[in-house]
Structure 1
Amino acid sequence: MVILVMGVSGSGKSTIGQLLAESLHWQFSDADAFHASESIAKMQKNIPLLDSDRMPWLMQLQKAIDNWLKTDQNVVLACSALKDSYRQLLWRDPQQMRLVYLKGPEKLIQQRLQSRYNHFMSADLLDTQLDSLEEPKTALYVDISDSPLEIVAQIQTYLQLQP
């Protein structure tokens, strides 16, 4: 099974994804690791990515998901997946995938981004992410105002997954 934890930068995808994967004894993967160096360089310069920049990244993620599902690996994937078209590319098998959307107030997300160090995604790009965001119609919506451990417990309960 693959659990895709999505949301804008600063919503807690990596933190929640790692904690969830650890609690379930699953693998964790961060979609940021699949970005081309050119895309990372753009984001470091506060240049928003275009769909054409994201397509190779999405195709790499699609291959990884296919492989995880084909080999029966349980993986928690932290991925922004901002647009419905991106999620459609990544959504391989509805029986083996779950979508968790981390949602919260813009002010909280901005605060988190401003206090983050050594990350290529600048707080200045939050507005472009919010502009691009197409909230999913079918997903587990989780309020990011709760503590990370409470969020992980909510996800486990909702998805009926035992640690």
Structure 2
Amino acid sequence: MAAPSALLVMGVSGAGKSTVGSMLASELGWKFYDADDFHPEENRVKMGKGIPLSDQDRIPWLCSLHDILLRDAALGQRVVLACSALKKMYRDILRKGKDNAPPECGESKKEKCAKVQLFVVHLSGSFKIISGRLRQRKGHFMPPELLQSQFDTLEPPTAPENFIQISVDKKLSEIITTVTESLKMECDLFPVIGLEQKQA
């Protein structure tokens, strides 16, 4: 597999995407983005009221994220993105932008949209475990009551997507090691992830 330009850490709310993503970015020496930071205010308000987001709510947000990933890839900057990306369609938008979204995604002309090389890390866990985590989380706009709607929406990645699935039951250090080892084996990223420098 070709070296990805972006690593997507996905899963339902409370799976630990932001924590895992930021630690992976630090370990790899890549840039980190938390997709929640890019939600428009109307999405935040809607979720705060306990109303699940629709595809129409999510698509412009995902298109903006695609544009960011594509911009950084053009600059040679590899990225870790923490994003729920619950449906395959959502992940396809992150990869291909307009190919899987309405015209407002940024491709008004007929030209072919450039693709982001994406490697997906799916943090998976049971409803019981993750709901328990959500109840302990303070100050987030995503209420625990919306978790079931996320599980209902979730489409776990499958081939031909490039992905690994990791249980949230694992220790954080185990998750980080599993991801970096997978990148080394599947993507030949040994020099990219900075391990050579650490050994020097």
| Common fold by TM > 0.5 | yes
Separation of aligned partners in 2, 1:97 and 1:89: 11
Q: Does 1:110 align with 2:131?
A: yes
Q: Which residue of 2 aligns with 1:14?
A: 18
Q: Does 1:150 align with 2:169?
A: no
Separation of aligned partners in 2, 1:130 and 1:105: 9
Structure 1 consecutive aligned stretches of length 4 or more whose deviation exceeds 6 Å:
none
Q: Which residue of 1 aligns with 2:63?
A: 59
Separation of aligned partners in 2, 1:159 and 1:106: 28
Separation of aligned partners in 1, 2:82 and 2:69: 12
Separation of aligned partners in 2, 1:68 and 1:149: 27
Q: What's the CA shift for 1:87?
A: 0.8
The alignment partner of 1:99 has SS state of strand
Structure 2: gaps (5+ residues): 97-114, 196-200
Q: Identity of aligned pairs, percent?
A: 44
Q: What's the CA shift for 1:150?
A: 1.0
Q: What is the total number of aligned residue pairs between the two structures? A: 162
Q: Which residue of 2 aligns with 1:40?
A: 44
Structure 1: gaps (5+ residues): none
Q: Which residue of 1 aligns with 2:111?
A: none
Where relative contact order (Cα < 8 A, 6+ residues apart) is larger, the structure is 1
Query: Higher Cα Rg: structure 1 or 2?
Result: 2
Q: Which residue of 2 aligns with 1:159?
A: 183
Q: Which residue of 2 aligns with 1:71?
A: 75
Q: Which residue of 2 aligns with 1:91?
A: 95
Q: What's the CA shift for 1:26?
A: 1.3
Q: Which of these residues, 25, 31, 35, is aligned with residue 27 of structure 1?
A: 31
Separation of aligned partners in 2, 1:97 and 1:129: 22
Q: What's the CA shift for 1:62?
A: 1.1
TM-score by length of 1: 0.95
Separation of aligned partners in 2, 1:76 and 1:117: 24
Separation of aligned partners in 1, 2:176 and 2:139: 25
> Cα RMSD over matched residues?
1.2
Q: What's the CA shift for 1:59?
A: 1.2
